[in-house]
Structure 1
Amino acid sequence: MLLRLDTSDTRALHEQVAAAIRRAIAEGECRAGDRLPSARALSTALDINVNTVLRGLRELRDEGLLEFRRGRGITVAEGAARRSGLQIKVRELMAEASRLGYSPSDLIDMIRGPA
């Protein structure tokens, strides 16, 4: 898995790490059951702090995309590709809504539809 961070990107580094892995899962570069490199290996390859990488990995774990298992390391969760693709679309929708002046609660109201 080849990850690159964009130095011109204004997002926090941990968000960029999570986005890069999320994209790799959505595009099929990483499949369910695949083992990811260790956080230390990723931090060395990306030349960023290991805690920054861990924060991005925990975000993906919380989204259900990764599993942390003692002795097995970090693996891609079953069904992660579907969830990853949806997460990407949700983030794009949130960014577009924000650009247009809508709040997250406005989006929730739109999704719920008329009362």
Structure 2
Amino acid sequence: MIIRIDPASSTPIFEQLVRAVRAEVLAGRLAAGDRLPAARELAASLEVNVHTVLHAYQSLRDEGFVELRRGRGAIVTGAAAELAAVRRHAVDLVEAARERGITADAILALVREELSR
């Protein structure tokens, strides 16, 4: 897994890490049971604070992408595969909406409406 961050970006580093790992999971390059690098190891390789990596891992845990286990680190969950499958449906939805000239705001409103049922 290759993670790149842009220290000059206005996006916080922890969020860049979350997005990078999320993208790897959704693309299928990380699967259920795969371990993420140890927080200290990743922090050292990216030259960032270990707490920044831990913050990213906690956000990924809160989203259901990883499970944090003391002594075992961050492990990709089975829910990540389910999220990847749903992403494929989202891609289809976006493509269909674009073909019909439907705006992003309209799509989001439809999704929120369905989620609130």
TM-score, reference length from structure 2: 0.70
Q: Which residue of 2 aligns with 1:12?
A: 12
Residues 26 and 82, structure 1, Cα contact 8 Å, conserved in 2: no
Alignment of 1:39-54 (within 5 A): 39-54=39-54
1:66 matched residue in structure 2: 66
CA separation of 1:112 and 1:54: change in aligned 2, threshold 3 A = same
Q: Which segment drifts farther, 56-65 or 71-80? A: 71-80
Structure 2 CA distance for aligned equivalents of residues 10 and 82 of structure 1: 31
Contact 1:18 1:59 in 2 (8 A): yes
Q: Which residue pairs with 2:21 in the alignment?
A: 21
- Unaligned 5+ residue runs, structure 1? 98-106
Following TM superposition, where does structure 1 have runs of at least 4 consecutive aligned residues deviating by more than 4 angstroms?
Answer: 107-110
Shift of 1:109: 7.9
**Is 1:37 the counterpart of 2:37 in the alignment?**
yes
Where 1:79 maps in the other structure, the secondary structure is helix
1:74-110 residue CA offsets vs partner (Å, 9 max, x unmatched): 1000130332564xx6xxx9xx65xxxxxxxxx5687
Taking the aligned partners of 1:14 and 1:32, their CA distance within structure 2 comes to: 22
Identical counterparts, % of pairs? 39
- Who is 2:99 aligned against? none
Is contact 2:7-2:13 (8 Å) kept?
no
Aligned-residue CA RMSD (Å): 2.5
Give the TM-score, by structure 1 length. Answer: 0.72
- Unmatched segments (≥5 aa) in structure 2: 95-103
